[in-house]
Chains A and B, each alone.
Chain A
Amino acid sequence: MIGQGGPNSGRTLLFVPGRSVLHRINPLTKLVGLLWLAATTFMLPPAGMAAVALAAIIFGVLAGAGATFVKRLILTLLPLTIALFVVHGVLIDRGDMVDHGLISVSPEGLKYMFGIVVRVAALLTVSLLFVTTTHPAILLKALDSHGISPGIAYLIASPLLLLEPFSVRARAIRDAQQARGLDLNGRWVARAKAFPALLIPLVTLALSDLDQRASVLDGRAFRARPFRTVLDAPLDRPWETWARRLLLVAIPVQIGVVLWL
């Protein structure tokens, strides 16, 4: 249950190259900003959440990621909105059903639906703002330059670097097996039988070079020092350091204020 909606079957990364202001801000500042906005979203009324989502979309378009925003918003929000409308607007009887001929709809249910949709939209758009303007490799350099341990850096960096070649490998296995007669469009029994034919070669290949990878890492003594040095660390301006500190303090303070009130 990584994501209830399932993975992207196309491009692996959502990152959009560019030179916008957001692209140039240090990834750690953006990450802390994302956490602050996510925490803030839960404290806002629906109109505030909608404003956050709209602002994030505008910044996304200015950063050149408009198409990615539109695609992800439609893919995520359309099925969610339909399901929320059916369950909360039509099926759950809150005692305020209004008859519209073919169906009866609950205004209270629609209000609840709107609240959920704008909250998910706000969280999704601020997350997209981060992922579309931050390449994982730059994020890793930022983490390295702030003294993250080599083990944690490897656990974050290695999957990001392996994801693309493994996706290519999976597609090659699929194409090869289809050339040998594998049926991916037949009845569900045929498709269920096709699953091991795709899975086993992929996992076996992935695990077969585990020893070699471990030996190479040990040979490089990659954990000999407590942290790695970065030759071209992302720019980190003094105001960004202060902004991060301020936002990191603001998150628990905001949560505390909301709980107190």
Chain B
Amino acid sequence: MKFDTRTLVLMAIAIVINVVVGQLAVWVKLPLYIDAVGTVLVAILAGPLAGAVTGVLTNLIWGLVSDPVAAAFFPVSLVVGLVAGLMARLGWFRTLGKTAVSGVVVGVISTIVAVPIIVYMFGGVTGAGTDFATAYFVAVGQELIKSVAVANLATNLIDKILTCAIAWIIASRMPGRFTASFPFYQKANA
């Protein structure tokens, strides 16, 4: 599939938004990533494939310029873009309530993809804040994989609901002449 020039430019800007918004989350010291706003925005405006490509390139480029470990999580970003785009196609980004449901779906599926990477590549921990929750669940007798899943699911649900809500607010507040040239968005919101 060949993307039109406008979609290509949107994807490039979205990759930068992902990286820079990740920096904003660090500045405000919130225990969340919020680093897929651009990916979900592209998925809402241009569809699942554009969202998936944006997600993958974000991680590979981030890995290339600043944090090589980020590249290991590219499958997670791929499914975030893909699932958000499919939810948008089914009309689940039309209202804030539906967007929250989409956030839950994206959060659950991205956790399913992230958990094996965290467990088999990093031994169940990553050096991030979620490790405290993982350690707690292991300490109370849960299996490692279940502990990682529960700890990351809780963080991911809040993170992805917030990410989807921010992306939806941005997309729905953009002028009509901006969104008019994205046929996917027009069709999904018809």
Binding site for B on A (CB under 8 A): 1-9, 12-15, 72, 76, 78-80, 82-84, 86-88, 91-92, 112-113, 116, 119-120, 123-124, 127-128, 131, 136, 139, 151, 154-156, 158-160, 162-163, 166-167, 170, 174, 184, 188, 191-192, 194-195, 198-200, 202-203, 206-207, 210-211, 213-214, 217-218, 223
State the CA gap A61–B144 with chains docked (Å). 37
- What is the interface of chain B mostly: helix, strand, loop, or mixed? helix
14 contacts between A and B (CB under 8 A): A1-B73, A2-B36, A2-B67, A3-B62, A6-B22, A116-B122, A155-B53, A160-B61, A167-B23, A199-B166, A206-B13, A207-B178, A213-B9, A214-B9
* Pairwise interchain contact A174-B70, C-beta atoms closer than 8 A: no
State the CA gap A88–B96 with chains docked (Å). 42
Residues of B1-40 at the interface with A, using a CB-CB cut-off of 8 Å, are 2-3, 5-6, 8-13, 15-30, 33-37
- Contact of A7 with B67 at beta-carbon distance under 8 Å, contacts A83-B127, A92-B144, A198-B28 already known: yes
Q: Given the complex, which residues of B lie within 8 Å of A191, measured CB to CB? A: 28-30
B189 at the interface (CB under 8 A from A): no
- Contact of A210 with B6 at beta-carbon distance under 8 Å, contacts A3-B67, A4-B69 already known: yes
State the CA gap A188–B25 with chains docked (Å). 12
Q: Given the complex, which residues of A lie within 8 Å of B114, measured CB to CB? A: 1
State the CA gap A213–B28 with chains docked (Å). 31
B102 at the interface (CB under 8 A from A): no
- Knowing that A92-B144, A159-B15 are A-B contacts, what are 13 other residue pairs whose CB atoms are under 8 Å apart, sorted by A's residue number? A2-B22, A2-B35, A4-B73, A7-B67, A14-B65, A15-B65, A83-B125, A112-B123, A124-B68, A184-B29, A191-B28, A198-B27, A207-B13
